[in-house]
């Protein structure tokens, strides 16, 4: 690692931020570490001056990591954003890649991995935790036999949300001022697109993909 760098940590957990900051200061004494507690704050921080590296959490209040990454990359496609993920965030991998993240780190990585990632990304390369590569490859195997990516229309998403709250097709129709039969059709489309067999699997899909929040 050569000269002084500015590193922005974006995470909603103060303890995690503070700890990581100390960690980075210890291994990279010349670096300048700044912090933001969510995606929106991060956006404001980078408008004046783009840091050399951004370590971005995914699950955050106000604005999540995916959206924030997307907007930062819009401002500057060269921005070096490394996603900080936990096990369980698998469904966001592709979204983050799509948004323009240059690297992926698991939160249970070793400090060496973080330094490696920063080094690689600063050189214009990409960096992925081994575990993440493994997980992605495992998903690729799945996708051979299953569906790659599903696109739900806005109406379908709307209906899906209502289904999850426990409304019947009749009730959904009443709320949306459309026929129950139309809702039947949307539901059928949802079952087919998500390869679900019934309501239970549909709700599970909605939760796994983040269509609805707990």
Partner DNA sequence: TTTATTATGGGTATATATACTTAAACCGGG
Partner DNA sequence: CCCGGTTTAAGTATATATACCCATAATAAA
Toward its own copies, which CB reaches closer, 31 or 37?
A: 37
CB closer to DNA out of 81 and 159:
159
Considering the complex, state which of residue 80 and residue 152 has its C-beta at the smaller distance from DNA.
Answer: 152
Q: Does 151 bind DNA (CB under 7 A)?
A: yes
Helix crossing, 180-193 with 169-176: angle to 10°? 110
Name the CA dihedral angle for 194, 199, 203, 208, rounded to a multiple of 10 degrees.
-40
Distances (CA, A) of 197 to 20, 34, 94, 180: 44, 48, 25, 20
Q: Which is nearer to DNA, 6 or 199 (CB)?
A: 199
- The residue within the footprint of DNA, chosen from 49, 197, 213, 214 (CB under 7 A), is 197
- The packing angle between helices 169-176 and 154-164, to 10°, is 130
Please, what is the minimum distance in Å from the beta carbon of residue 48 to its own copies? Answer: 25
**Shortest separation between residue 120's beta carbon and DNA, angstroms:** 36
- Number of Cα atoms under 13 Å in the Cβ half of residue 146: 13
Sites of contact with its own copies (CB under 8 A): 12-16, 18-23, 26, 37, 61, 84, 86-88, 105-111, 114, 163-166, 168, 196-204, 207-208, 214
Which of DNA, its own copies, none does residue 54 bind to, with CB < 5 to 8 Å depending on kind? none
Contact of 158 with 176, CB cutoff 8 Å: yes
Please, what sign has the CA dihedral across residues 21, 123, 91, 137? negative
- 22 interface partner picked from DNA, its own copies, none, CB below 5 to 8 A per type: its own copies
Bridge partner list, 57: 84
Closest approach, Cβ 64 to its own copies, in A, equals 13
- Mark the segment that binds DNA (CB under 7 A) among 16-24, 101-109, 126-134, 150-158: 150-158
Q: Per CB under 7 A, does 169 bind DNA?
A: yes
Are the C-beta atoms of residues 164 and 171 closer than 8 Å to each other? no
Shortest gap between Cβ of 113 and its own copies (angstroms)? 9
């Amino acid at each position: 690692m050569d000269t002084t760098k500015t590193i922005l940590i974006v995470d909603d957990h103060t303890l995690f931020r503070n700890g990581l900051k100390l960690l980075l200061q210890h291994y990279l004494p010349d670096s300048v570490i700044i912090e933001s507690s969510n995606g929106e704050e991060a956006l404001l921080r980078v408008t004046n001056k783009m840091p050399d590296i951004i370590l971005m959490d995914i699950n955050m209040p106000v604005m999540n990591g995916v959206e924030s990454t997307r907007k930062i990359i819009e401002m500057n496609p060269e921005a070096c954003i490394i996603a900080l993920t936990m096990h369980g965030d698998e469904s966001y991998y592709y979204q983050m890649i799509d948004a323009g993240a240059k690297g992926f780190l698991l939160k249970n990585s070793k400090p060496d991995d973080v330094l490696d990632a920063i080094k690689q990304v600063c050189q214009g390369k990409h960096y992925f935790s081994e575990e993440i590569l493994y997980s992605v490859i495992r998903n690729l195997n799945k996708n051979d036999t299953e569906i790659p990516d599903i696109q739900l229309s806005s109406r379908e998403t709307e209906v899906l949300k209502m289904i999850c709250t426990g409304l019947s097709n009749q009730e959904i129709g009443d709320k949306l001022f459309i026929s129950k039969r139309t809702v039947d059709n949307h539901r059928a489309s949802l079952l087919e697109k998500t390869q679900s067999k019934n309501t239970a699997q549909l709700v599970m899909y909605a939760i796994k993909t983040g269509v609805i929040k707990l």
